[in-house]
Each structure stands twice: as structure tokens, then as C-alpha cells.
Amino acid sequence: MAAMTERISSVLARVPRGVYMALAVVLAAGFPLLNVIGVVETAWLRVGVMSLLFVMLALGLNIVMGETGLLNLGYIAFFAFGAYTTALLSSPKFELRWPFLAVVVVSTLIAMLAGFVIGLPTLRLRGDYLAIVTLAFGEIVRLTIINLQGFTNGPNGITGIYSPLLAGGSEVKTGLAAWLTVDKPIEYYYLVLVAVVVVSILLANLKNSRVGRAWNALREDELAAISSGITASRAKMLSVVLSAGIAGFAGSLYAYYSNVISPESFLFMQSVIVVCMVVLGGMGSIPGVVVGAIVLQALPQVIRQAAGAARSDFEVYRMLIFGVLIVVMVIFRPEGLLPDKLWRRESHEVDPRELEKTRQSLFDLEEGEKDLEV
């Protein structure tokens, strides 16, 4: 049994990673077709869009949390920056309707600016203090949104956000312009999917670049990293600003998609849920984070449907499972479901399998004699 699973996993490990990625993209792109042919309800397409948005959020948080090793407990605030910028630039609130691309770019930049401003004074703090400061920042942003009623409509939120026009900036809904308007779930699904794919390719490349290595070095041992010539403050700031930008991008798409945003979508718990996704999937591992986000966003919906919609304590059990999941993962499998190579090496001082392999090659022992005292 054990030997067989070992063999299967070794075969699976030999398949190039590109194949898996391509497979995942094809699966994701094919999913809406199930809706088109009527196998799956449109509601599931919406679950899909939300899952993809959370994938993007988790990918963004993974940069600071997984790659650089800085815990951010107010990550949802950057999402809020992106969402509110979009809502203000493309809704009846100030009677603006900027073109889609401009809005997305401005939203991303505003979120990045927020990341820069908050990063400037806080990044020199040590890990746990940084986590708490970011938590406070997230709450301040949310409470300020509630209180600035003239600007954000306070607790009522901003409603009637226009659908994105991929071309032109006018209200016209005919011909090509209508064709390029995104307002059906399936269109949003593909829009967000493209964004997710672009972001993950970008991040995968970044991970193996100088910058990515600098981040990992800072995570492993800040002192050693600095003495080998890495400018810690610049590298950290880059990771914070980049992750904020991705959250702002996701927030912008979210605002377009949901038509309405209100402060209740940006609670502390949302930040924790994104953290949970990264921990579950595997800190620092892009495929892991994607899987973590999809599992934690889509699975509760599936179970909710299976258990019947009217269970009022569903939310309680969902959060309960999230909490247990964090504790269990952190204790038993801190490297996550689909771990990053480096993290696996770090999180258990000695990987028993690794050790076993070495020993086997050294002494060429029989199956039963493996358990030598080390």
C-alpha cells in the first residue's frame, strides 16, 4: 500500500509542472461550458467568479505572507481601496463613468499607494507587531469608510456600479460596444479568469527572479540576507506594494462584478479567511494557494447547498471549521496541501522521507530494516 502510493506520487512528480498548469487552466476555462449546455446552474458560475476573485486575493497575500514572511492581517483593506476607487469612478455617486481600463489601473495604483504609505513606517517592525499594526490599519480603513458618509454613503454602501465597457467610455449599448460590455456572469467569469492567469504567470516568473529570491532569503534569515547584500527595506516594500496592487486589482473587478459594495464586505474576518487560504494551500506555493482559495471559497457553498439552504447555523460551522483548519494545518502540516519546496525543507527541520532516501542509498537496506535510530 505504502509502496504503491510512493510509486504513484513519484510518477506524478515526474510530470512537468507546466502540464498541471495547462490542465488547470483548461479545466477552469471549460467550467462555464457546463453552464452553457445546462448541466450546471448559473449560481455555480457565480460561485466560480467569487472563487477566482479570492484566488487572486490569496495570490496577492501569498507574496507578503508566503514569499517574504510578513503576516498581514488587514489585507482586505487594500481590496477595499480598489473596490471603492472603482465604485467612485464608475457609478452614479459622482456621475462618473471612466473607461474600464483606466478605472482598473487607477484602482490598482491607489491600492499600491495605500500599501506604500502604510508600509513606510511599519515595515521595520518585527513580525508579530507588524501583523497587529496591519490589523489595526484594516479596521481603521473599514471604520473610516463607514464614517465618511458623504463620500462613501457610509453603511449603505455604493450602489449601481456600472458594468465595465471594455472599449470606449460612453453609455452606448449598441453594436460593438454592447458586445464588449461585460455584464453576464459568464463574461465576468472569463474576465476574472484571464486576470487570474495573467497575475499567476507574473508571480511565477517573479518567484524565480532576483526579487523572489531576495524575498525568500529575507523570510529565511533576515540578518543573513542583509549581509549578503539585499536591501531589506526595498525588497519588503516591493512585496507589500505589489501585493496591495493585486488586492486593489481584485477589488476593482469585485466592485464591477457585484454592482454594489458596502463596508460589511471588508471585515477583519475576510482578512483571516484569505490568510487561511494561504496557510491551507501552502505558503509560498502558487498552485497550493490557488487550490486553497478554491477549496475554502467553493467548498462551503457546495456543502451549504447539500445541507439545505435554510440552516441558520451554517455560518457558525463554517467559521468553526476554518478555525480548526488553521490550527491543525499550522501544527501538523505547516507547509500546506501543495507545499513549496523551500518551505517544506524549512518547516520540518529534517524531512523523514528525505532522510530515508539518503539512508537507503547509503546502505541499500531492505524494506523492514528502515527504522534505525538516527
Partner 1 sequence: MSLDHIVSVTIGGLTVGMIYALIALGYTMVYGVLKFINFAHGEVFTIGGYVAAFTLLGLGVNDDMSPLVLAGCVVLALLAAVLVPMAIGFLIERIAYRPLRGRSRIIPLLSAIGVSIVMQQLIILVFGPAPVSMPSLAVGSASFVVFGIRIRVLALVIIAVSSALMLGLTYLVKSTRIGKAMRATSQDMEAAEMMGIDTNKTIAFTFVVGSALAGIGGFLVVMYYGSLKYDAGFLYGLKAFTSAVLGGIGNIPGAVVGAIVLGMTETYGVSLDLGFMAWFVVAGLILGLYVQMVRVPRRRLQHIADDRRTPAYEKSITDVYRLTPYYGFKTLLAERTDALLSVSAAHAVRLMFGNLFLAVVAAVMFANASVRIDTRWQPVIAFVVLMVILMFRPSGILGEAITEKV
Partner 2 sequence: MTKGARMLHERTRKVLALALAAILAFGLFGTAGCTEDGEGDGGEATEGDVEIIKIGVQTALTGPLPDYGEAAKRGAELALEDFGTFEMDGKTYQVELVVLDDKAEPAESAVVAQTMVDEGVVGVIGSLTTGATLSAIPIYAENRIPQISGSVTGPKANAEGVDTFYRTCWSDAIQGEALAAWALELDAKKVVLMDDNGAYAVGLADVAEAALKAEGVETLRQNCQSGDKDLSAQVANVKEFGPDAIIFTGYHPEAGLMRKQMLEAGLADVIFMGGDGIKSAELIAQTGGVENAEGIYATFGGFPEDQQPGYEAFAAKYEEKYGDAVGPYAQNNYDAFGALIAAIKAAGSTDTEDIIAALRELEYEGVTGTFSFASEADGAVSVGDIVVAGLTPSNVPRYVVEGGEFVAVK
In the complex, minimum distance from the CB of residue 344 to partner 1, in angstroms, rounded to a whole number: 15
Residue with smaller CB distance to partner 1, 135 or 195: 135
- Name which of partner 1, partner 2, none residue 309 binds, using a CB cut-off of 5 to 8 Å depending on partner kind: partner 2
Whichever of 35 and 243 has its CB closer to partner 1, that residue is: 243
Interacting partner of 160 out of partner 1, partner 2, none (Cβ under 5 to 8 A depending on kind): partner 2
**What are the cell numbers at 316?**
457558525
Q: How far apart are CB 329 and partner 2 at their closest, in Å?
A: 9
Residue 259 in the binding site for partner 1 (CB under 8 A)? no
Residue 301, C-alpha cell as written in the block:
457553498
Partner from partner 1, partner 2, none binding residue 262, C-beta < 5-8 Å depending on class: partner 2
Shortest approach of partner 2 to residue 263 CB, angstroms? 9
Measured from the CB atom, the residue of 4 and 374 that comes closer to partner 2 is: 374
Binding site for partner 2 (CB under 8 A): 38-43, 46, 92, 146-147, 149, 154-157, 159-160, 185, 258-262, 264-265, 299, 302-303, 305-307, 309-312, 314-315, 328, 332-333, 350, 352, 371, 373-374
Give the shortest CB-259-to-partner 1 separation in angstroms: 27
Site for partner 1 in 65-94 (CB under 8 A): 69-71, 73
Interface with partner 1 by CB under 8 A: which range of 140-148, 169-177, 257-265, 356-364? 140-148
Q: What minimum distance in Å lies between the beta carbon of 103 and partner 2?
A: 18
The C-alpha atoms of residue 307 and residue 48 are separated, in whole angstroms, by: 19
User: x/- contact string, 291-330, with partner 1 (CB under 8 A)?
Assistant: ----------------------x--xx-xx-xxxxxx--x
Residue 131 contacts partner 1 per CB under 8 A:
yes
Residues that bind partner 1 (CB under 8 A): 69-71, 73, 121-122, 125-129, 131-133, 135-137, 139-140, 143-144, 146-147, 268, 272, 275, 279, 313, 316-317, 319-320, 322-327, 330-331, 334
